[in-house]
Amino acid sequence: MPELPEVEVVRAGLDPAVSGATVVGVSAWDERALTRYDGTAADFERVLTGRVLHGAARRGKFLWIPLAPAAGESQPAHALLAHLGMSGQLLLRTPGAPAERHERIRLEIQHPQHGELAVVFADQRTFGSLTVDPLTSTPDAAPGGLGTDQPLVPEQVAHIARDPLDPAFRDDRFREALRRKESAIKRVLLDQTVISGIGNIYADEALWRTRLHPETESRALSTRTVNRLLSEIRAVLHQALAEGGTSFDAQYVNVNGQAGYFAHSLNAYGRTGLPCPRCGRAIVRVSFMNRSSHYCPHCQRFRSTSVAGTLTGFAEKRRDGNSRNDTQSSAG
């Protein structure tokens, strides 16, 4: 599934093409691409046609394009919201370009500088979707996400936490959230209500860089370790952005259909059995939440930090010691 870097690459490519453009036509070929929309395909086409688009914004893995305020509105009230799912693509095409393979929806737009363009939503597995969603105020009065200065976010995204590249992301609140979590750190990194935009790939990579075992208890991490983890998360996301994201196949592409090449820079994810770039030991893969975790068992050693774990370890050492004493007594 596309993660923050892949979605941000799409947002950055889409933004200049849609900002200030007018939707002159909509063709919703497949209603499976409207599963988040409360209406028919014909209604979706009607609502969007004639609307002026603002620049593209993103929070985590969600991307939206605010619709310019309608008559009588002081600020945008709705947005075209996109979730790419597992294989969704938003592509820019010339007017009249042939239909894309797996094309579900097409928007014909007229831009003041770029002229006519087509925004195509294609999705092989049909888990992605488009919708028109009401905008709601952000609780912290900060912009809704990257790419917008409006303190507004689509209602369907309001429960999603800010992502670590968002200027309004609060490191202190993330540290506080970890202190309240008994869960493994990787599970927390995948929880989009705590920190958004991170999926399996970048969680494994950030944990490898921080030398943290994915099962390390979140609340046991020191402030220094959490700060380092956040730093490594941002570093790996920025590197992935610079390299166009991670593309393992033709599904993860930018608006021009080009694949990213961060897959060549991965240190842990997808490298089962290959040598760890740091110590040379083999990377292992274990089952985790219906997917897999990839890590180096030498560099990322699991250390039990719970009180129960410490007491258990003490009891085992004491039992072993008593056993040795009993053996020595018997021998004497």
CB 198 within 8 A of CB 59: no
CA distance 130 to 271: 34
For residue 269, being part of any structural domain is answered with yes
Q: For 180-222, where are the alpha helices, taking DSSP H only?
A: 185-189, 200-210
For residue 158, being part of any structural domain is answered with no
Annotated binding residues, as ranges?
Answer: 102, 125, 181
Annotated binding residues for DNA, as ranges?
Answer: 102, 125, 181
Tally of structural domains, the chain: 2
Does 230 lie in the same domain as 298?
A: yes
Q: What does each of the 332 residues of the chain score in pLDDT, given as a tens digit?
A: 688 888 999 999 999 999 999 999 999 999 999 999 999 999 999 999 999 999 999 999 999 999 998 777 778 899 999 999 988 899 999 988 999 999 999 999 999 998 999 999 999 988 999 999 999 999 999 999 999 999 999 999 999 999 999 999 999 999 999 999 999 999 999 999 999 999 999 999 999 999 999 999 999 999 999 999 999 999 999 998 888 766 544 555 556 666 654 677 799 999 999 999 999 999 999 998 878 999 999 999 997 655 434 333 333 344 344 444 443 443 43
Of 84, 119, 151, the residue that ends a domain is 151
Torsion of CA 200, 205, 207, 211, to 10 degrees: 150
Say which CATH number the domain at 253 has. 1.10.8.50
For position 148, what pLDDT does the model report?
Answer: 96
271: containing domain:
171-307
For position 38, what pLDDT does the model report?
Answer: 94
Q: Which residue in the list 2, 76, 164, 214 is annotated as catalytic?
A: 2
Residue 3 annotated among the catalytic residues of the structure: yes
For residue 99, being part of any structural domain is answered with yes
Residue 214 annotated among the catalytic residues of the structure: no
For residue 246, being part of any structural domain is answered with yes
What residues are paired with 153 via a beta bridge? 136
Q: Which residue in the list 291, 301, 303, 317 is annotated as catalytic?
A: 291
For residue 102, being part of any structural domain is answered with yes
Residue 2 annotated among the catalytic residues of the structure: yes
Q: Which residue in the list 11, 51, 58, 61 is annotated as catalytic?
A: 61
Residue 61 annotated among the catalytic residues of the structure: yes
Find all residues with CB under 8 Å of 308, minimum gap 6, and list them. none
CA distance 200 to 292: 8
Does 195 lie in the same domain as 72?
A: no
For residue 312, being part of any structural domain is answered with no
For residue 245, being part of any structural domain is answered with yes
CA distance 20 to 29: 25
For residue 330, being part of any structural domain is answered with no
Say which CATH number the domain at 30 has. 3.20.190.10
Q: Name the percent of the chain in helix, strand, coil, to the closest 5.
A: 30, 25, 45
Does 235 lie in the same domain as 123?
A: no
Structure tokens at 30: 């497949």
Taking the model in full, what pTM does it have?
Answer: 0.85
